[in-house]
Amino acid sequence: MTIGSGVPAGGQGFAVENLVVGSGAGGAVTAAALAEAGREVLLLEEGPATDTSRVATNSTAAIAHLYRNRGMTPIFGRQAIVYVEGRCVGGSTEINSGLWHRLPDDAYQRWRSDVLLRNFSPDVMTPYFERIERDLSVSLVPDGQIPASSRLFRRGIERLGWDYQQVPRCQKDGGSQFAPGAKQSMQRTYIPRAVAAGARLLADTKATRLVIEGDRVVGVQVLQHPHGARRRFEIRAATVFLCGGAVQTPALLRRSGVKRNVGDSLRIHPMIKAAALFDEEIEAHDDALPVYQVKEFWPTITMGGAVFTPGFLAMTLADGWKAYRDAMHDWPRMGLYYAGTRAMVRGSVRVLRGFDDGVVIRYRLSEADRANLSTGLGLLGELLFAAGARAVYPSLAGAPILRSVDQCRGLVKEPIPLAAMALSNVHAFSSCPMGENRDVCATDSFGKVRGLRNLYVNDASLIPDAPGVNPQGTTMAIALRNSEHFLHLRRSFPARARPAAAARPAHLLTGAPGWLGTRLAEALTLGLPGVPSAATPRNSGLRCLVRPADDARDLERLSESLTVAPGDLTDAASLRDFCRNAEGATLFHVAGLVHPRLWTRDFDRINVEGTRALLAAAEEAGVKRAVIVSSNSPIGCNPPVPGHVFDESSPYDPYMGYGRSKARMEALVHAIQARGRLETVIIRPPWFYGPHQPPRQTLFFTMIKDGKFPVLGDGTQRRSMAYVDNICQGLLLAAETPHANGETYWIADARPYSINEIVATVTEVLESFGFVCEQRQMRLPRAAGELARRIDAALQSVGVYRQKIHVLGEMHQSIACSIAKAERDLGYAPTIALREGMTASVEWCLANGHRI
């Protein structure tokens, strides 16, 4: 292994393309995947580069050199839990038992629905597990090598008729399966591979803080401490992957000010141990690692064997030492076992200011956890007696030696107080869960931290909840999947330079990377969880028209099937390029001008002439259908009739310049449709809201928060609003419903809302995020709105547009529509209403650095 190669001495900083923080299960896989793809990688590791092939994992020397805080890390709560994790090159994989599990099937479904995890199914993940299993030589211990302590354990299980499993291990064949160096840890697998592919490894170097500028991490401050010397410097990086494990990763993020859903949902598998005295000499000491686990009570309770040395045995007896100590005389006939539970509450990881390592882990076990641990211990005792134990020594303070099955059953009937339990934990996860559920997830479905463009988490922190099995396998498979996803998106970067005509797209899209356009691109390439008709991605080639000055990188990252065609609605040649080779495709025309900078003539230039040129190019290229986004504005405002709503037969009454341009556009679309070469559908969404919103919509939140939103009149005027996912659903249905050709549809949320309701809902949502909101808004007479409308009309008559006056001029009017036709014809069924949609919008703002 090359340690520290290429790293300048003397403490000055340097720059790398990819910085991977932490060299454990997640970090080693990430570094190897990136390096083997030809990327420049620096792998940073806080712990030392101790060669663990010569250290038995269960010695005091291992504790001193390989364990974080030498194993002295408590989890605070109703009862302290001893928490152990690795801190060395290779991370916890150097000190663990190497027991291997794939993710159980039930977790896939749970994570899809709980955290809206995308692209995550057994079909997707199985190949990753298989590849890693080959790399780590995951295999079963041959029968002849199964240690006596495990064979006794199996005897007990079989006598009780319980379900159990021999768990495979990451191990090399030949020689003792338990000898140091046999286990295929990261030091023996992925780290050498990463280094062979050119990655550099820097040990004894801790990332202390991320350097964040705007929406990017530009570098990482580090503390290097080889052999006690300390120096601090900064490493600049284009992309940073955090793989410090489920405690250190959230600690680093929080220390760096990244806190949203970070360190709030830690999950663990706490366990309690017991020693058993048998008639047989087991000689369980040294390297006898356990291989069986009881599955009868899984996932709530798991039981298995624990690593044994006389020292570990004595530690297990420590809580009842006075009563138990004589058991040490019989140590050759003793084995160590555990009962663990999948604890159900969420713990937290926090950092204390002013301390380099001031990490505080909290986990308040619930009454159910207590009962499960107690039951687990009782069942474990029963099993051990069935295996032939003479006595069982539970790791409990002040408890008697258990000498009968009845005593064990007592533990099931009457749960033990938590205060008496000596608990430990070696599995931690879920502290930065991944997924699209912004309520709880810190990252997207592939580990990208929300709100930061180039920061990824790729370790056990991502696992959305306690999987109920040993987690190294899941951690590694997720890390490999995410790394390859990242590389896959990088490979699509050159797409910007590819000629637009290269591939035949099934969909064309204008208006990305704008608000609705981006969401629709996401719907087409990734699917929209929670919107049944849009849940499945339409991954058959999407080409987006993007103005040359716009930043399309996020868009390009969505999918390899997405290509970008540089162009503009005002540039007919670029539109022809955009539509080239798109025979039979569907065009979504989302781009439009709503608020020009100053001149109203731009409305016609973009909304009418731009659409004319686009549809001409589409016709010419043989595009099958165009779905065109219009607006409520061609129809104007509702008459003063209580409960009035527009439908598709309502007459045109365009509102100002924008409405006129959209009315002309609709007329143009009808004319083109009548020619019969291009199918068209017009969609009229009113005021929309949701993720990817522009700053003006965030200003709307800020005004409500500060009590400065102008409520005109009594606030009972109604507005139809449309959450972007609802609009995307409507657009997709319009594209895919044959008889929609030539039709126009209003697409909005299920019902209109009064201005008062909108303001009250946004206030409540903001308060639920901890914002302190003014309870009263600025109240203005209706006449103020009418005055603004007249000024707006006067200005627009001379070709001038002022956005604020225009918006104020609309605020005293009702703009409400009926979606009945879309429901009837298209099967449109809006899934998101105001509160949920506004919650998602506020979350998106917070995750993307919008200041409310």
Ligand X SMILES: Cc1cc2nc3c(=O)[nH]c(=O)nc-3n(C[C@H](O)[C@H](O)[C@H](O)COP(=O)(O)OP(=O)(O)OC[C@H]3O[C@@H](n4cnc5c(N)ncnc54)[C@H](O)[C@@H]3O)c2cc1C
Binds other proteins by CB under 8 A, chosen from 1, 51, 151, 751: 151
332 interacts with, out of ligand X, other proteins, none, CB within 5 to 8 A per kind: other proteins
The reply to whether 559 sits near ligand X by the rule CB under 6 A is no
C-beta closer to other proteins: residue 356 or 583: 356
CB 221 within 8 Å of CB 2: no
> Binding ligand X by CB under 6 A: which of 16, 18, 20, 26?
26
- The answer to the question of residue 85 lying near ligand X (CB under 6 A) is yes
Q: Are 415 and 371 in contact (CB under 8 A)?
A: yes
Q: What sign does the CA torsion over 349, 354, 358, 361 have?
A: negative
- DSSP conformation letters of 198-223: T-EEE-SEEEEEEEEETTEEEEEEEE
Q: Is 828 in the site for other proteins (CB under 8 A)?
A: no
Of 131, 230, 232, 325, which lies in the binding site for other proteins, with binding defined by CB under 8 A?
325
| Binding residue for ligand X, selected from 58, 97, 265, 729, defined by CB under 6 A | 97
DSSP state of 115: S
313 sits near other proteins (criterion: CB under 8 A): yes
Query: Which CB atom, from 460 or from 669, has the smaller least distance to ligand X?
Result: 460
**Residue 230: exposed, middle, or buried by beta-carbon count in 10 A (0-12, 13-18, 19+)?**
exposed
Query: Under the criterion CB under 6 A, does residue 303 sit at the interface with ligand X?
Result: no
**C-alpha closest to that of 625 among 545, 539, 724, 737:** 737
Using CB distances below 5 to 8 A depending on partner kind, what does residue 460 bind out of other proteins, ligand X, none?
A: ligand X
Closest approach of Cβ 244 to ligand X, in Å?
Answer: 3
Among 35, 39, 45, 513, binds ligand X (CB under 6 A): 45
In the list 1, 53, 59, 852, the residue contacting other proteins (rule: CB under 8 A) is 59
Residue positions annotated with a catalytic role: 427
Question: For the window 422-451, what string marks contact with ligand X as x by the rule CB under 6 A?
Answer: ----xx------------------------
The C-alpha atoms of residue 409 and residue 375 are separated, in whole angstroms, by 8
Q: How far apart are CA 341 and CA 370, in angstroms?
A: 9
Q: Is 632 helix (H, G, I), strand (E, B) or coil?
A: coil
Shortest CB 297 distance to ligand X, Å: 19
DSSP 8-state class, residue 119: S
Tokens of 359: 């990490």
Residue 796 partner contact from ligand X, other proteins, none using kind-dependent CB cut-offs of 5 to 8 Å: none
Q: Is 374 helix (H, G, I), strand (E, B) or coil?
A: helix
The interface partner of residue 21, options being other proteins, ligand X, none and the CB cut-off 5 to 8 Å by kind, is: ligand X
Which among 812, 581, 834 is positioned nearest to 721, based on CA atoms? 834
Among 103, 115, 138, 243, binds ligand X (CB under 6 A): 243
User: Is there a contact between 378 and 410 (Cβ–Cβ < 8 Å)?
Assistant: yes
Q: Which residue has the tokens 């806190």?
A: 259
**CA pair distance 30, 24, nearest whole angstrom:** 10
* Contacts (Cβ under 8 Å, ≥6 apart) of 649: none
Among residues 203, 207, 379, 542, which is the contact residue for ligand X, using CB under 6 A? 207
For the chain, the 3-state helix, strand and coil shares in percent, each to the nearest 5, are 40, 20, 40
Query: Counting runs of H as helices and runs of E as strands, what totals does the chain give?
Result: 25, 35
Residue 321 makes contact with other proteins by CB under 8 A: yes
- Residue 820 within binding range of other proteins, rule CB under 8 A: no
Residue 837 engages ligand X in binding (rule: CB under 6 A): no
* Residues counted in the chain: 852
Check residue 44 for interaction with ligand X (CB under 6 A): yes
Bridge partners (DSSP) of residue 81 are 75, 423
Helix (H, G, I), strand (E, B) or coil at 398: coil
317 binds, among ligand X, other proteins, none (CB under 5 to 8 A by kind): other proteins
Residue 848 contacts other proteins per CB under 8 A: no
Residue 103 touches ligand X, criterion: CB under 6 A: no
In angstroms, the CA 356 to CA 252 distance is: 10
Of 39, 43, 47, 267, the one binding ligand X (CB under 6 A) is 47
Choices 238-246, 630-638, 695-703, 747-755; region in contact with ligand X by CB under 6 A: 238-246
Touching other proteins, residues 386-415 (CB under 8 A):
397
**Least distance in angstroms from the C-beta of 63 to other proteins:** 8
Nearer to ligand X by C-beta: 255 or 625? 255
724-735 burial, b at 16+ Cβ within 10 Å, e below that, comes to: bbbbbbbbbbbb
Q: Which does 309 bind (CB under 5 to 8 A by kind): other proteins, ligand X, none?
A: other proteins
Using CB atoms within 10 A of its CB, is residue 494 exposed (0-12), middle (13-18) or buried (19+)?
A: exposed
Taking CA atoms, 827 is separated from 56, 464, 732, 735, 830, in Å, by 65, 34, 11, 13, 10
Q: Which is nearer to other proteins, 199 or 277 (CB)?
A: 277
Query: Judged by CB under 6 A, does residue 457 bind ligand X?
Result: no
State the CB neighbour count (10 A cutoff) for residue 56: 16
**Which parts of 586-615 interact with other proteins (CB under 8 A)?**
none
Query: Where on the chain is the footprint of other proteins (CB under 8 A)?
Result: 59-60, 64, 69-74, 80, 148, 151-152, 154-155, 279-281, 309-315, 317-319, 321, 325-326, 328-333, 352, 355-360, 397, 419, 422
Query: Where on the chain is the footprint of ligand X (CB under 6 A)?
Result: 21-27, 44-47, 84-88, 91-93, 95-99, 206-207, 243-246, 248, 252, 426-427, 459-460, 470-473, 475
